[in-house]
Copies of this chain bind each other. A is one copy, B any other.
Amino acid sequence: MARQVAERSDTIPALANVFRTYGFDGASLAVITEHTGLGKGSLYNFFPRGKEEMAEAVLDEVDGWFRSEVFEPLRAESVPPRQRIQSMFATAGDYFRSGQRICLFGAFALGEERNRFGARVRTYFDEWTAALEAALVGAEDSIGLAEEAVAGIQGAIVMSRALDDGAVYSRVTTRLEDRLVQALTP
């Protein structure tokens, strides 16, 4: 598929797709060339340090998206906590397409990619958990609940991918959402 490319950031969505599908090792420059529509020369022009820089750019982009679309809304004190939490599950479900789309940070945490990008991976999970904990105001053991929910979403992705069944993701995350909302109003 040819793509209209004018600047570096235009390639990020395609690169994200490639790394999600093939992992860091499996994403060969041949595959990247095909999916971005850019030759090696152009790619090295945008990303002088090669594949590693491409992956870093993708992780930064995804992290930025979660920051503005998930983490910050979780801390928006003008919105009722219950609504913030429900929005988080809705947004995450859309993003991960009910488990049909994997979490790059989760996959990199399991794979050998953790050696290269461990700091970014850790930050992502730390921030998500902390933001969710902030939304669980007044709930008992808000830290444990937040931790369980973030881990549960990752597990839901793993399992729905394993069974190739998006319904698993929906069922598991709905249970999590119910439990968190429940904890808010004892």
A: interface residue count bin? 35 or more
Any chain B CB within 8 A of the CB of A172?
yes
Stretch of A8-16, A131-139, A161-169 contacting B (4+ beta carbons < 8 Å) = A161-169
A-B pairs with lowest CB-CB distance, top 8: A155-B155, A151-B155, A109-B162, A154-B155, A154-B158, A151-B159, A25-B25, A125-B162
Which A residues are within 8 Å of any B CB, using their own CB? 21-23, 25-26, 102, 105-107, 109-112, 114, 118, 121-122, 124-126, 144, 147-148, 150-159, 161-164, 168, 171-172, 175
Closest-by-CB residue of B relative to A165 is B122
Q: Determine the distance from Cα of A125 to Cα of B157 in the docked complex, in whole angstroms.
A: 13
Q: Determine the distance from Cα of A102 to Cα of B124 in the docked complex, in whole angstroms.
A: 19
Give the shortest distance, in Å, between A125 (CB) and chain B (any CB). 5
Give the shortest distance, in Å, between A141 (CB) and chain B (any CB). 9
Is the pair B118, A164 in contact by a Cβ cutoff of 8 Å? yes
Q: A25-B25, A107-B110, A110-B102 are in contact. Are A150 and B154 (CB under 8 A)?
A: no
Q: In this complex, which of A110, A114, A124 has the most chain B Cβ atoms within 10 angstroms of its Cβ?
A: A110
Is the pair B125, A147 in contact by a Cβ cutoff of 8 Å? no
Is the pair B23, A162 in contact by a Cβ cutoff of 8 Å? no
Q: Which residues of B contact A164 (CB under 8 A)?
A: 118, 122
Q: Which residues of B contact A125 (CB under 8 A)?
A: 159, 162-163
Can you pick out 28 interface pairs between chain A and chain B where the beta carbons lie within 8 Å of each other?
Answer: A22-B112, A23-B25, A23-B112, A25-B25, A25-B26, A26-B111, A26-B112, A102-B110, A105-B162, A106-B110, A106-B162, A109-B161, A109-B162, A110-B111, A121-B162, A122-B162, A125-B162, A126-B163, A144-B171, A144-B175, A147-B159, A147-B172, A148-B152, A148-B172, A150-B159, A151-B156, A152-B152, A154-B154
